[in-house]
């Protein structure tokens, strides 16, 4: 059974959703029968390679939030992340384009290392405060995730996998996906948002029974 997940590597809820899906898979009766595929979704397709505003300033401007409101929202998110075994430092995150990161994830899929690449990019952004729009950062993280340095460099300096990323985004529009994470189980059931492990496990079981 295939589980497709539309998400972005700069989305804090997507990292939570990844952990909760992994917890659900650990409880599922036949996890070896599940193939997880990470699909591309850009929260901000118009973002520059690196945004000059701090994360707090960008969030405040985008949603009309005060500094105190941003801090409160981040505290809640950080606590949720900690409950899932994740370490968030949201004040350190660097905004920017995630398009090349998604192309790198496509290389990971081609070489059977997509989940490792996804994990390394998410940790780099949310825990280490690395700018995922920076080519040198992507190059290092791709190699650390087990990808061949030469292929990583080819992808980053070229336009390989561009159409594949765009196709994921077209599919998202066709499915009416406006927010991520969004899980599709065996092309039958869609689950929106970083739902609980229990909800995701129920979806896995329902899809497995129906197939």
Contacts of 35 (CB under 8 A, 6+ apart): 1, 2, 3
Q: What string of pLDDT tens digits covers the 211 residues of the chain?
A: 999 999 999 999 999 999 999 999 999 999 999 999 999 999 999 999 999 889 999 999 989 999 999 999 999 999 999 999 999 999 999 999 999 999 999 999 999 999 999 999 999 999 999 999 999 999 999 999 999 999 999 999 999 999 999 999 999 999 999 999 999 999 989 999 999 999 999 999 999 998 6
**Which strands sit side by side in the sheet containing 35-40, from one edge to the other?**
35-40, 2-7, 182-185, 189-192
In this prediction the pTM is 0.96
Furthest-apart CA atoms within the chain: distance in Å: 49
The Cα–Cα gap between 1 and 35 comes to 6
The first and second tokens of residue 68, run together, are 């105190």
The Cα–Cα gap between 21 and 54 comes to 30
Measured in Å, how far apart are the chain's first and last C-alpha atoms?
8
Domains of the chain: 2-51+87-210 (3.40.30.10)
């Amino acid at each position: 059974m295939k589980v497709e997940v539309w998400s972005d590597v700069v989305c804090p809820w997507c990292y939570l959703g990844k952990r909760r899906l992994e917890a659900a898979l650990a409880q599922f009766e036949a996890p070896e029968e599940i193939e997880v595929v990470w699909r591309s979704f850009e929260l901000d397709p118009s973002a520059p390679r690196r945004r000059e505003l701090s994360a707090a300033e960008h969030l405040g401007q985008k949603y009309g939030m005060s500094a105190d409101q941003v801090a409160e929202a981040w505290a809640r998110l950080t606590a949720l992340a900690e409950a899932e075994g994740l370490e968030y430092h949201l004040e350190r995150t660097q905004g920017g384009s995630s398009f090349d990161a998604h192309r790198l994830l496509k290389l990971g899929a081609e070489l059977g290392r997509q989940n490792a690449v996804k994990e390394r990019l998410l940790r780099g952004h949310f825990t280490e405060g690395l700018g995922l729009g920076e080519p040198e950062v992507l190059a290092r993280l791709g190699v650390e995730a087990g990808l061949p340095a030469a292929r990583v460099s080819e992808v980053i300096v070229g336009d390989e996998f561009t159409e594949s990323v765009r196709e994921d985004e077209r599919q998202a529009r066709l499915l009416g996906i406006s927010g991520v994470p969004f899980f599709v189980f065996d092309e039958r059931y869609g689950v929106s948002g970083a739902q609980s492990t229990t909800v995701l496990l129920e979806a896995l079981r329902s899809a497995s029974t129906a197939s």
